[in-house]
Amino acid sequence: MSDQHELPPGWTAEWDEQSQRYFFVETSTGQTQWDPPSITEQGVPAPGPAPAGGHAKRRQYAAGQTQAYYGDSGVVHPPAPGDMAGNTVGGGSFFTPAGGEQPPAQPSGFYNPAAIGQGPGVFSAGGFVVPSQPSAYQQQQQPQVGALTDQFSQMGLQQPGYSQKQFALHTINLVGAFLDPRELVAPPPEIRLPPGASVSQEVTANADYTYQRCTMNAIPTTNSLLGKAKLPFGLILTPHRSLKEGDAPVQVVTDQVIARCRRCRTYINPYVTFIDGGARWKCCMCNVSNEVPQMFDWDQATNTPGDRWKRAELNHGVVEYVAPTEYMVRPPQPPVYVFLLDVSQHGVASGMLATATRTILESLDRLPNADNRTKVAIIGFDTALHFFCVPPGSAESTLLVVSDLDDVFLPKPTDLLTNLTEARAGLEALLGRLSDMFADSHSVGSALGPALQAGFKLISSIGGKLIVCTATLPTLGTGALKPREDPKMFGTSKESSLLQAADSFYKTFAIECSRSQVSVDMFLFSAQYQDVATLSCLPHYTAGNTFFYPAFNAARSEDAIKFAHEFGEILSSPIGLEAVIRVRASRGLRLSSYHGNFFVRSTDLLSLPAVPIDQSYAIEVQIEENITSPFVVFQTAVLHTSSDGERRIRVVTSAYPTTSNISELYASADQAAIVTLLANKAVERSISSKLEDARDALVNKMVDILTTYKNTMTSSGGGASAALSIADNMKFLPLLTLGLLKHVGIRQSTQIPSDLRAYAQALLTTLPSQLLIPYLHPTFYSLHNMPPECGTIGEQGVVMPPPLPLTSERLERHGLYLIEDGQTMFLWVGRDAVPQLVMDVFDLPAYEQLRTGKATLPLLDNVFSQRVNAVINKTREMRRGPYWPHLYIVKEDGEAAMRLWALSLLVQDRGAENLPSYPQFLTSLKEKVKWINERDSQLF
């Protein structure tokens, strides 16, 4: 189209390849026509002042800027990138319209692979057509419009995240495909929103995927399309994510100006629309218009007019508000820690008590105590309850023993919970000698239930944390448990009963704790059966943590270091207290079920007495009605009390484009989020039904996805084909599913103790995706021949070796390998390792003298030892979370059990008890897909 045919604002021209002519689109309504619109007919209103009605302190923009923002209708919406001469970046997917005089309608999808290469433009990353050559308008922006207009004219395709690379569905054949493990740490598919979706040009307008991610980064417009694609639809939340070096801090809004929708209570965010000259804003969830708060455009720090467009909530998908008093039902609670310590013979002999008290003592300075309000209490338990009274200002403490376990009472109700700052000297003295006080204990009973009741009575009026360290099965008083593990049940349909709570007391007590804002953390140490499945109910319903240390013995320094590190990290980490979480979604979407550690107080309100750092939650989503908007929004709000005593609201907002094209669903699928949701559902099903049902559901879901993909996305369709096809961005999904099927928490086995399985399931339902992926797909490094730069310091810290595929085919007899899953590390030494390697790494003269098992690798005065130690230390530090994985030395011809344990992490190999290899698993999936297609062809 000639540049002389200028179009009025709001109109674009698109090329019809079939009729070889342009048609014209009015972007605000989607109306199309063949005749060029007339500038004089449409008219361009003269710039004028913003509509009245704003507060006196609201920022009043110049007339030209107001017109640039508000346009003809007064809607503050950034114009679509394009030019005034008919070159355009369309708002929907580009297509070739049919011939005839009727101009085509715009489909809602944002990508159509059939249109690639057609017309006079090229495809951008978002699937939008852009001119092959920049127009005069793009090359020469008018300076008089102002900087604000420049920002909006550059939105969409010009901003980062809307790069002009093609967004195409790439299909691969899984059979024989090489899977590079490095791709597992890559970000999910890009979220490609339509131009003008956000009022901000910042890439931070959408929450980072480590806070909130969706299983699909393009949302189907209908439930039938979702059902056809067979992809699970859900959100994975980690709202209280830790900050690593280089992570941007969460933006804090301190002026207490909080704009919320009057109907659905959504918080204002980058995806709202300003109308009426900026005096009102339209909610992106329910489309209701709301007044902009009077002080929204006022900088309270300088007491001058502020720039609305620089406010954090309009530029960042993750913000935190300092909440005003109307968000409080009581003054913010102080951090409260009640330590329930097992002082029985088992707790003392294992060294657990000494290690726990020493770690608490060393962590007193790290406990959140910014305002000197933190309170602490210590209660010991064995066959009785031991209360320690520490008066403020005194270095002495008093021991009070209560032997009545049937009617628990507090001997000194007002003096047991003491202020950390005021009683610091007495607490330090008590913790320094507490383990010696029970050194000669011969008590073998455990009154854990009564101890929990006592701790709850102590803090139920204010809330806080009960931190339990126990080394034996509860045997006395309320909540007493009996050994119920029967190895004959392993691998049978009855095994799931061992993963259910044995006593209703723990769930009932946990719900009571949740109502009183009391959270429970469990640290379990028993060398024998401890019923982790029952005891983990307490953290599950009170938003706590479960840690399990089987056969703990502090005489082994590795055991003491692991517990001390993880215990210390939990004590010192900032937490949110007395929290509630509510997730809101755009019209047409419904949050149907929730997975994670919390109590569902109402249909959509999650109660969390504490919000642990780096804990994940999964939410399933349903489509209730057809979606007509070009994008949808999910918003998570976490109302909590910070460790510093401030009531705050953390708001996490993510927007996703909608599509009616099934290919875009597959091209935008987030395989890490999908497997995280599947892991949560598998654990729930294994407990409520049977482990076998959970495994079958995983396989069936994988077969459904592969069958649908083959029938809809490949040329062979339902016919016979040697290929097992899937989208390139989903190519790890079958392997991750196999890793889940082989995982201790899910796999078929007659040899997995129920405590190990229950703890593994607790991790599967709480680990965020960044930790869950290596837990299912471990990392495998070759150390003996790693490149020379590996293990040295580079620009991004320690340079790690390239990971290998998880197969023993990569093991060489003379090699040294590291296999790790975030919870455990194995250092594999080949039987033919040269003496020099053994000397350089282990400081031993020969392979034969190397001992297997838990170990601490020595740091020797040679380069290779330093590089290996650097890789191991980096492995422990590079991921979020409090975990400190043990290191085990494994010899190729060493102890069989240790060797099989290490090899079980190589999930692409065939495992023990007839677990399939990855090629065998693919063959099985392929046969199931073929059988379904043959069955369907016979039916029709």
What is the arithmetic mean of pLDDT over 554-573?
96
Phi, psi of 848 (to 5 degrees): -65, -25
- ∠ CA 749-734-926, rounded to 5°: 95
Residue-wise pLDDT for 738-776, tens only, equals: 999 999 999 999 999 999 999 999 999 999 999 999 999
Residue 352 has pLDDT above 50, yes or no: yes
CA–CA gap between residue 177 and residue 824 (Å, rounded): 29
pLDDT (0 to 100) of residue 26: 76
Burial (CB count within 10 angstroms: exposed 0-12, middle 13-18, buried 19+), residue 56: exposed
**Residue-wise DSSP of 7-25:** --TTEEEEEETTTTEEEEE
If pLDDT is split at 50, 70 and 90, which confidence band does 67 have? very low
CA–CA gap between residue 574 and residue 572 (Å, rounded): 7
* Count of C-beta atoms within a 10 Å radius of residue 141: 12
If pLDDT is split at 50, 70 and 90, which confidence band does 17 have? low
pLDDT (0 to 100) of residue 164: 29
CA–CA gap between residue 204 and residue 197 (Å, rounded): 14
CB 318 within 8 A of CB 241: no
Question: In this predicted structure, which of 155-169, 329-343, 615-629 has the lowest mean pLDDT?
Answer: 155-169
Give the DSSP H or E segment for 385.
strand 385-389
Q: 748, 753, 751: which is closest to 738 by C-alpha?
A: 748
Look up the pTM and report it. 0.83
pLDDT (0 to 100) of residue 111: 24
Higher local confidence (pLDDT), 179 or 21:
179
Alpha helices by DSSP H, listed for 614-719, are 662-667, 671-688, 691-713
Residue 291 has pLDDT above 70, yes or no: yes
Tell me the one-letter amino acid at 191: I
**Rg, Å, the chain Cα set:** 31
If pLDDT is split at 50, 70 and 90, which confidence band does 301 have? confident
If pLDDT is split at 50, 70 and 90, which confidence band does 6 have? low
Residue-wise pLDDT for 185-204, tens only, equals: 999 999 999 999 999 999 99
CA–CA gap between residue 892 and residue 691 (Å, rounded): 32
pLDDT (0 to 100) of residue 683: 97
DSSP class of residue 911 equals B
CA–CA gap between residue 120 and residue 111 (Å, rounded): 16
CA–CA gap between residue 332 and residue 585 (Å, rounded): 29
Strand, coil or helix: 219: strand
State what percent of residues in the chain have pLDDT above 70: 83
**Residue-wise DSSP of 312-342:** GGGT-SEEEEE--GGG-SSSPPPPEEEEEEE
Determine the straight-line distance between the first and last CA of the chain, rounded to whole angstroms: 50
Task: Report how far Cα 762 is from the mean position of its chain's Cα atoms.
Answer: 15
pLDDT (0 to 100) of residue 108: 33
Residue 591 has pLDDT above 90, yes or no: yes
What is the arithmetic mean of pLDDT over 801-830?
97
What is the arithmetic mean of pLDDT over 297-317?
93
| Pairing verdict, β 289-291 and 280-282 | antiparallel
Alpha helices by DSSP H, listed for 209-344, are 223-229
- Between the CA of residue 334 and those of 239, 418, 428, 441, what are the distances in Å? 21, 12, 21, 35
* Count of C-beta atoms within a 10 Å radius of residue 206: 25
pLDDT (0 to 100) of residue 38: 65
Residue-wise pLDDT for 79-108, tens only, equals: 343 333 333 333 333 333 333 334 444 333
CA–CA gap between residue 936 and residue 940 (Å, rounded): 6
Alpha helices by DSSP H, listed for 342-408, are 345-349, 352-363
If pLDDT is split at 50, 70 and 90, which confidence band does 8 have? confident
Give me the half-sphere count of Cα atoms (radius 13 Å) on the Cβ side of residue 206: 25
Residue 24 has pLDDT above 90, yes or no: no
What is the arithmetic mean of pLDDT over 575-580?
93
Give me the half-sphere count of Cα atoms (radius 13 Å) on the Cβ side of residue 14: 29
Residue 146 has pLDDT above 80, yes or no: no
CB 552 within 8 A of CB 525: yes
What is the arithmetic mean of pLDDT over 781-788?
96
If pLDDT is split at 50, 70 and 90, which confidence band does 114 have? very low
Burial (CB count within 10 angstroms: exposed 0-12, middle 13-18, buried 19+), residue 75: middle
- Between the CA of residue 733 and those of 266, 656, 675, 725, 727, what are the distances in Å? 34, 22, 7, 12, 10
If pLDDT is split at 50, 70 and 90, which confidence band does 15 have? low
Helix axes 504-515, 448-459, angle to 10 degrees: 10
CB 607 within 8 A of CB 573: no
Query: Could you tell me which residues are beta bridge partners of residue 633?
Result: 655
Strand, coil or helix: 838: helix
For 610, the token pair is 């504490």
pLDDT (0 to 100) of residue 167: 56
Task: Report how far Cα 896 is from the mean position of its chain's Cα atoms.
Answer: 37
Write down the mean pLDDT value for the chain.
85
DSSP class of residue 163 equals -
CA–CA gap between residue 362 and residue 908 (Å, rounded): 43
Phi, psi of 861 (to 5 degrees): -90, 60
For 415, the token pair is 């003096």
Q: 482, 469, 472, 402: which is closest to 444 by C-alpha?
A: 472
Burial (CB count within 10 angstroms: exposed 0-12, middle 13-18, buried 19+), residue 553: middle
Residue-wise pLDDT for 466-518, tens only, equals: 999 999 999 999 999 999 999 999 999 999 999 999 999 999 999 999 999 99
pLDDT (0 to 100) of residue 139: 32
Question: In this predicted structure, which of 180-194, 273-287, 711-725, 859-873 has the lowest mean pLDDT?
Answer: 711-725
pLDDT (0 to 100) of residue 145: 35
